Amino acid sequence: MGLADEETFGEPHYCPRGMTATTEVEEHRGAYLDALMARDVGAARSAVDAAIALGVPVEEIYLDVLTPALYEIGRSWAVGDFSVADEHSATAVTQSVLGMLGPRMRTAPKDGRLAVVTGSPEERHALGVQMVADFLEGDGWEVLNLGAATPARDLARLADAEQVDVVALSTSTPAGLPGTAEALSELSMLRPRPLVVLGGRLWTGEARREAEALGADLVLDGPRELVERLRERFPPLKADVEERG
Ligand code: B12
């Protein structure tokens, strides 16, 4: 982040939808947030290790520990309690933790379903992209994770060359709207055309209606909903479903 935008000040404390507000998860989140505040990667890993040891599912750690802790970091930055360097540290620590948790989520791709996941053009927020990619891999998808800010035309070329089934785009700020529109326009020209799903923090607010108007196939809040909706459209092979329960 750079200089604080006016619009970001006073953002209410954010609590993701569907969050299990158990004391236990709150404790893990608190420990993780304390570690981020202290710029202590070791303590952050220990907080996550403790949650795993107590049987908290990795998906829950992603959604109910890491995500809200990052949102809290954003709030602290917006009100001036946290510097940009502190935020960069929190991001790097969380990237390291995702590197540790990712292999616990992922399964080998089994049934030929291929997705591209990326930040929309100009979108530099990348942790949500990584989480979405890990959830999809956890459900047996093969995933091409392009990280942040893939230009629209390059994205469409890659989607075409790889004949992907799904393009999942992540957007966090209103500045991402024009790039998202451009990406949707480029992707709409492909034959066959992949299913295009929009997600990310931007669409949880007023902009959601715009997302639908842009021609996205789906606009979803979180990776869990994404996995569920994609299972309806691209059912995994029966043997895989039985194996994964
Ligand atoms: C870290 C951070 C950055 C880092 C990102 C580094 C990186 N490698 O990712 C950097 C420094 C680059 C950055 C830059 C900026 N940032 Co910033 N950033 C953050 C912060 C603190 C955390 C972001 C994060 O990782 N969150 C955790 C992830 C997991 O959450 P998520 O992205 O929402 O993803 C979840 C869901 O949305 C969903 N999801 C995400 N994508 C998708 C896609 C699909 C298909 C689906 C189904 C679901 C889905 O799944 C995820 C799991 O729960 C947030 C605070 C916040 N509230 O998020 C601010 C925040 C997003 N940033 C903000 C701002 C203002 C900026 C800047 C404009 C600052 C500036 N003036 O330059 C720039 C914009 C740069 C750009 N062009 O994109 C504001 C946005 C406010 C607004 N109204 O738009 C926030 C909210 C901070 C705040 N409170 O003010 N930022």
Residue 19 clears pLDDT 80, i.e. is over it: no
CA of 104 to the centre of ligand 1 (A): 24
User: Which residue, 189, 191, 207, is CA-closest to 199?
Assistant: 207
Q: Which of 8, 125, 155, 228 to mutate to test the pocket of ligand 1 (most atoms within 8 A of CB)?
A: 125
Q: Helix or strand or coil: residue 236?
A: coil
pLDDT tens by residue, 223-242: 999 999 999 999 987 655 55
Q: How far is the CA of 125 from the centre of ligand 1 (A)?
A: 5
pLDDT surpassing 50 at residue 183: yes
- Per the structure block, which two tokens stand in for 37? 């505040």
What is the identity of the amino acid at 117? V
**What is the per-residue DSSP string for 97-114?**
HHHHHHHHH-----S--E
The 10s digit of each residue's pLDDT in 67-94 is 999 999 999 999 999 999 999 999 999 9
Q: What is the Å distance from ligand 1's center to 55 Cα?
A: 28
> Whole-model pTM?
0.92
Residue 5's pLDDT band, with cuts at 50, 70 and 90, is: very low
Is pLDDT above 90 for 32? yes
Q: N- to C-terminal Cα distance for the chain?
A: 41
CA dist., res. 67 & res. 159, Å (int): 28
Q: What is the mean pLDDT of residues 193-207?
A: 93
What is the crossing angle of helices 84-105 and 41-53, to 10°? 30
Give the atom of ligand 1 at the shortest distance from the alpha carbon of 130: 29
Distance of CA 233 from the midpoint of ligand 1 (Å): 28
For 22, how many CA atoms within 13 A lie in the half-sphere containing its CB? 10
pLDDT at 123: 95
**Which of 62, 139, 201 is the pocket-test mutation for ligand 1 (most atoms within 8 Å of CB)?**
201
